[in-house]
Structure 1
Amino acid sequence: MAENPLGGRPNAQILMTIHGFKQLCMSANTDKGRRVREYYISMEEVLFEFTRRNAVKDRELYIATMEESKKDADEAKAVAAAKEEELRKEAEDARALVAAKEEELSRFRAKAYDEVPKEDKIYICKEASELNSDRHKIGKAIDTKKRESQLNTGSAQGSKMIFERSTLNAKLIEDIASMSQGSGAIK
């Protein structure tokens, strides 16, 4: 017991847990004990109803979430199946195109070099003033006579074609010759 410093009756402070207070009230056979028991019973009913409602809401939310997840998964499966079908068709088309190109290439390879039509020509010409030198011009043209006349237009003495040959790869030959010497003229 502690004395009140302001005077009056001494007061006592008793600390109890909720569980201990509830047990004390349940065992007390008084009017206040009965009222406390009724209070705890009604509070437990409210807590039970609150818990039941939350459980129902949680279950409904869980079911809705699961249904939505299942719906999303089904949509994703449908999209994946459509994409797979599209990729399969693209792969089939690509295989068919490759097969057609391979067949065309094999037919082309089967032809002898001389059987394939040659539209380009490779030529070697010399300037008239340099016929005794080792300087040559290598080039390609479809019509070598026309090209010779074009070369003669820009030359004071003129130029002369000393070699020409029809080929499939005139551009390649011209490029190799140019790259090997660093310029269009070979010495």
Structure 2
Amino acid sequence: MMYPYLFLPLAGLLLVIFQTSVLNIFFMGRINVEISLILVIYAGFRMNVLQGALFSFLLGFFLDCAMGSISGLFTLIYVCIFFISVLVSIRVYAEQISLIIGFSFLCSIFEGLMIVLFFKIMYDINMLGSIVQVFLPQALVVSALSPLFFKLFHFFEVSFHDGNPQPAK
């Protein structure tokens, strides 16, 4: 069926718009709740490699465009996190809540470290203090919300496939 393939990019774009506008207003810009990162991790656990990699690429691209960040930074980070998630899903049972929480936390910290490293290399700006002040609270929020969103994404996946979730291939 072709509908999920057409719907996923649109849903990803709407998610990024919601994440960068509504959630940013709700949290007054203090914490960036990255639902798109949780979706990339979910895609790594549940989607086939080609579809998930393209979807992660699109989510990163949409986030780069919406945030006005350096072109390609979130695209690269999201594709890397997707492939790491695929490797982890091969080796462990990816339905455990503790694994989802811990892995989401590590991926969020990895994203923060990549951003800090990029700014250090490209602009010689030391953002290492941002790890504790910005990225650690963000990682805690993302890891706390990840089981809830994994269940929500699973519900949508089952809905698309008429009650039969498609396992990763």
TM-score class, shorter-chain normalisation, is: under 0.3
Write 1 or 2 for the structure with the bigger share of helix. Answer: 2
Write 1 or 2 for the structure with the bigger share of strand. Answer: 1
More relative contact order, 1 or 2 (CA 8 Å, 6+ apart): 2
Length-normalised TM-score, structure 2: 0.19
Structure showing greater radius of gyration is 1
Length-normalised TM-score, structure 1: 0.18
